[in-house]
Amino acid sequence: MDLAWYALLGLFFGGYLVLAGYDYGVGLLLARGGGPTGRRAALTALGPFFLGNEVWLVAAVGILFGAFPVLEGELLSGCYPAVAGALVGVILVTAGVQLRSRPADERIRARWDRMVVVGSALAALGWGVLLAALLQGVPRQADGHVAGVSHLATPFAAAAGLAMVALVAVHGATFLTLRLPVADAAVVGRTARRLVPVALCAVALATVVGLLSPRVRDAVERPAVAVLLPVLLAAALLAARAALARRRPGWALAATGAALALPVALVGAALWPYVLVSTTDPGASLTVADAAASAPTLRLLGWVALPLLPALLGFQAMCWWVFRGRTDGRAPVYW
């Protein structure tokens, strides 16, 4: 039961990174110029999916609270600056994308767009740091609380945050290659291919810093799984580059999406059976079973989630199906 809920938590957080990842990627790419029309076209490509993407985060935190209350309290308050930073980013993107087209003045719209760029960077950075914090362990004391927030300030956390920003940028460019009209897609496809080596370097940097960090080496329960992570990430990025070169943006998006989902799955697997590893007191490490809510709560939530999950995924799939294909002059414009 614990494992099923842990997997579900991973599914929703991973799903959030994959789906909102291209929101943030498109957000970052608003900074690359292209003028008001280019930015508008990018946001139109995002259009109908935007609202359905960020809800995965809300669902993930809902599951975190309902099924893993202890983890929710310790993880979020223990990594306060990372979570708060990501949250500010999420809010800037949410408000920026939805409100930027309401004023008619292009200068004001450009100001909102800059807000989206900053927000996208903050969100990606924050979630990258949070995943790094899990992998490098937290100073959880015997009383069950994480002491202070300075444990986040490590080179590994910074490198992981930057790697997440780079991954998200590649993902966003790939998404635009799939969605924009053919002429614009060729341009953004080149950007995506140029971003792949950047992302590879960022992942390599995070890997090296992580391998050198004694905290990461101590915290990880399954080193093989942890080493597998950068290898699979590199493979996914190279696959995306190859698919882009062969003009298969759909496959490329699947590969960059996998690159965003993989860290969640592999961080979870590398730490299992722990979820919060204590760097100060081995006895204070929190296992998934200890973090989970008691059995009656999980049973109740299970009965709710079981019939609901197909509906949730079904309506999301309906949204993807209804608005599939490239945008054109007749695509509805709202953002």
Q: Which of residues 87-106 bind other proteins (CB under 8 A)?
A: 87-88, 90-92, 94-95, 98-99, 101-103, 106
Give Cα separations from 271 to 50, 159, 220, 268 (angstroms).
32, 20, 5, 6
Q: Measured from the CB of residue 215, what is the shortest distance to other proteins in angstroms?
A: 21
Q: Measured from the CB of residue 295, what is the shortest distance to other proteins in angstroms?
A: 9
Which DSSP category does 109 fall into? H
Among 75, 160, 166, 196, interactor with other proteins by CB under 8 A: 75
181 touches other proteins (CB under 8 A): no
Q: Is 287 helix (H, G, I), strand (E, B) or coil?
A: strand
225 touches other proteins (CB under 8 A): no
1 touches other proteins (CB under 8 A): no
Q: Measured from the CB of residue 306, what is the shortest distance to other proteins in angstroms?
A: 11
Q: Is 140 helix (H, G, I), strand (E, B) or coil?
A: strand
Q: Where are the alpha helices (DSSP H) in the chain?
A: 2-29, 35-46, 50-67, 69-78, 80-99, 106-136, 155-179, 182-212, 214-219, 223-245, 249-271, 288-291, 295-322
Among 19, 30, 76, 261, interactor with other proteins by CB under 8 A: 76
Contact 312, 58 (CB under 8 A): no
Contact 288, 3 (CB under 8 A): yes
72 touches other proteins (CB under 8 A): yes
| Nearest alpha-carbon partner for 262 in 58, 90, 15, 55 | 15
d(CA 89, CA 147): 25
Exposed e or buried b per residue across 18-40, where buried means at least 16 C-beta atoms within 10 angstroms of its C-beta: bbbbbbbbbbbbbbeebeeebbb
d(CA 223, CA 210): 12
Among 3, 4, 7, 58, interactor with other proteins by CB under 8 A: 58
Stretch near other proteins under the rule CB under 8 A, chosen from 54-62, 219-227, 250-258, 280-288: 54-62
Q: Measured from the CB of residue 118, what is the shortest distance to other proteins in angstroms?
A: 12
77 touches other proteins (CB under 8 A): yes
Residues 145-164 that bind other proteins (CB under 8 A): 145, 148-149
Task: State the binding string over 11-50 for other proteins (x if CB under 8 A, else -).
Answer: -------------------------xx---------xxxx
178 touches other proteins (CB under 8 A): no
Task: State the binding string over 260-299 for other proteins (x if CB under 8 A, else -).
Answer: ---------------------------------xx-xx--
Name the phi and psi angles at 332, rounded to 5: -65, 135
Residues 102-131 that bind other proteins (CB under 8 A): 102-103, 106
Q: Measured from the CB of residue 104, what is the shortest distance to other proteins in angstroms?
A: 9
Q: Measured from the CB of residue 322, what is the shortest distance to other proteins in angstroms?
A: 6
Give Cα separations from 93 to 70, 118, 166, 179 (angstroms).
29, 8, 17, 20
* # residues near other proteins by CB under 8 A: 73
